[in-house]
Amino acid sequence: MFLFDAHLDLSMNAVEWNRDLTQDLYAIRDREKNLTDKPDRGKGVVSFPEMRKGNIGMCVATQIARFVKPDSKIPGWNSQAQAWAQTQAQVAWYKAMEEAGEMVQITTSDGLNAHLKRWQEAESTENLPIGYILSLEGADSFISLKNLEIAYGYGLRAIGPAHYGPGVYAYGTDSDAPLAQKGKDLLVEMDKLNMILDATHLCDTAFWEALAIFKGPVWASHNLVRAITPHNRQFSDEMIKALLERGAVIGMAFDAWMMIPGWERGKTTPEETGLKISHIVQHIDHICQIAGNANHVGIGSDLDGAYGKEQSPGDLDSIADLQTITSLLADRGYSEADIEKIMWNNWVDFLQKNWK
């Protein structure tokens, strides 16, 4: 089945992790097997060949560069200018992938429909370009709103104002504070451009303020359920209901510590917990039960989002294994039409409605 993955940090892996995603996944792992600078070295699960193998023909691909103050325990860049420069290197990589025929940027409803048709009608997807919608995870790299205009010009269509900790525009995971005036101004300008607000990572206070201020389309590219995994990174049932009222789609993330309670990052392993891809169905079903339908859930895997196999379900060797979700949902009683919604059609429907 065609699959739309709404959150992949592809350019971060290419530019900051120095991974050539055009290569065979196992060649990438072999190249990294003696590196120790990142905890996920030699354990990546994403490459373009594996995406094509898994029929993942469309994704939301990110730019990401956090600004941090000198006393921060969270890694990042020491000035907004440096963060901006990092995101520009990431854009350059996406453009290089377009020139190589590996990717194609999607910014309009017509482009979306044409790309979807190309993948669905192709006899083989082995050499097809992967379509991507460009998103910014954390807005710290915007030195001013002029950067927003520049970014929109090169195709940026979705923004999550926050990431982890204190941010320039909004506070994110493991922190909490009202929106800064800069954050409120950013939301107003995003509205004018009909950009998508990604509610992922917003701290609780900023989440509610952002929904009150922002009038445009809202989604959550990679988030799970707080009732199952209690943590501020997940959405409470009240937050889920608010998103449903806005017509949002919520993408299911496959970062292990988000999927099950009690996971200690850097210590717990998939083997000792028995974590499997099937655990994601609990999160899917929880949202569907609140909604009364399957119209608001999608896949936003966040695979290789600064972690690899060591922090993924134990039965996931590559991103292509996301295809097992179809049979897991069927076993749970989901219809073929609802499975298609979750695997790709909810995201496409969301974009078609909001890009008219």
Q: What is the pLDDT of residues 223-242, one digit of tens each?
A: 999 999 999 999 999 999 99
pLDDT of residue 216: 98
The amino acid sitting at 261 is P
Tokens 């922090």 correspond to: 311
User: How far is Cα 214 from Cα 194, in angstroms, rounded to an integer?
Assistant: 10
pLDDT of residue 312: 98
pLDDT of residue 356: 85
Phi, psi of 79 (to 5 degrees): -150, 155
The amino acid sitting at 312 is S
Tokens, residue 267: 């210590």
User: Residue by residue, what is the 3-state secondary structure of 143-201?
Assistant: CCHHHHHHHHHCCEEEEECCCECCCCCCCCECCCCCCCHHHHHHHHHHHHCCCEEECCC
Question: In Å, what is the CA distance from 198 to each residue of 82, 91, 185, 210, 266?
Answer: 23, 19, 16, 10, 27
Tokens, residue 313: 């379900």
pLDDT of residue 95: 98
pLDDT of residue 218: 98
pTM: 0.98
User: How far is Cα 206 from Cα 203, in angstroms, rounded to an integer?
Assistant: 5
List of the chain residues with pLDDT < 70: none
Q: Domain containing 46 — which CATH number?
A: 3.20.20.140
pLDDT digits (tens, 9 = 90+) for 244-256: 999 999 999 999 9
Range of the domain at 190: 3-354
- Where do the DSSP E strands lie in the chain? 3-8, 56-63, 103-105, 130-137, 156-160, 196-198, 218-219, 250-252, 297-299
Tokens, residue 35: 């590196």
8-state DSSP, 77: B
Number of domains into which the chain is organized = 1
Percent of the chain that is helix, strand, coil (3-state, to 5): 40, 15, 45
pLDDT digits (tens, 9 = 90+) for 188-210: 999 999 999 999 999 999 999 99
User: How far is Cα 77 from Cα 330, in angstroms, rounded to an integer?
Assistant: 45
103 Ramachandran zone, left/alpha/beta (phi>0; psi -120 to 50): beta
Distance of CA 241 to the CA centre of its chain: 20
Tokens, residue 230: 């209690």
Those residues whose C-beta lies under 8 Å from the C-beta of residue 317, and which sit 6 or more positions away, are 45, 309
